[in-house]
């Protein structure tokens, strides 16, 4: 290894899973494939058919350094200077939970072996969620008091 990226099998059986993609992602990947086909034609015989989705302009595996550079450029342009690439995973899980996706489904998408990871690490109640929950409790208690 010695400072080089290596391709290894997934850490756990849960890491190897099928994830249906939202249409916006499918569209972006199809557009990327078209661009990559143009790069393949331009590269001709120098194309390295690495089998990766995101590659260099010659088809080789992209180094983690290069991916990091691309991410930093995008992040800085968007004004998100403190967001790490790995934080995108955290954000996706938080958004799924905030959208009301059941935790067991989020756990399967994220590949967590235990739902405790999903709920302990990622499930942070927002102030609005807490306000709504306590408002519901207050309404229920008021209804019960009125019925008594």
58 domain residue, yes or no = no
54 domain residue, yes or no = no
23 domain residue, yes or no = no
37 domain residue, yes or no = no
pLDDT tens, 89-127?
888 998 898 888 999 999 989 888 888 888 887 766 666
67 domain residue, yes or no = no
SS3 85: coil
Q: How far is CA 100 from CA 1, 36, 92, 126, in A?
A: 42, 36, 13, 13
Range of the domain at 125: 86-148
Pairwise CA distance, residues 117 & 123, whole Å: 9
100 domain residue, yes or no = yes
53 domain residue, yes or no = no
Tens of pLDDT along the chain (148 residues) come to 566 778 889 887 767 888 899 999 999 999 999 999 999 999 999 999 999 999 999 999 988 888 889 999 999 999 988 889 888 988 899 889 888 899 999 998 988 888 888 888 776 666 677 788 889 999 999 999 898 8
Average pLDDT for the chain: 88
74 domain residue, yes or no = no
Question: What is the total count of domains within the chain?
Answer: 1
């Amino acid at each position: 290894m010695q400072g080089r990226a290596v391709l290894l099998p997934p850490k756990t059986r849960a890491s190897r899973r099928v994830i249906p993609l939202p249409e916006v992602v499918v569209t972006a990947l199809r557009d990327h494939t078209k661009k990559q086909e143009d790069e393949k034609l331009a590269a001709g015989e120098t194309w390295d058919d690495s089998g990766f989705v995101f590659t260099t302009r010659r088809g080789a595996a992209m180094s983690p350094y290069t991916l990091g550079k691309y991410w930093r450029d995008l992040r800085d342009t968007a004004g998100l200077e403190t967001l790490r690439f790995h934080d995108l995973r955290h954000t996706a899980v938080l958004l799924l939970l905030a959208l009301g996706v059941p935790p067991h489904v989020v756990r399967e998408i994220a590949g967590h072996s235990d739902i405790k990871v999903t709920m302990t690490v990622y499930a942070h109640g927002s102030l609005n969620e807490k306000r709504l929950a306590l408002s519901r409790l207050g309404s229920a208690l008021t209804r019960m008091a009125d019925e008594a």
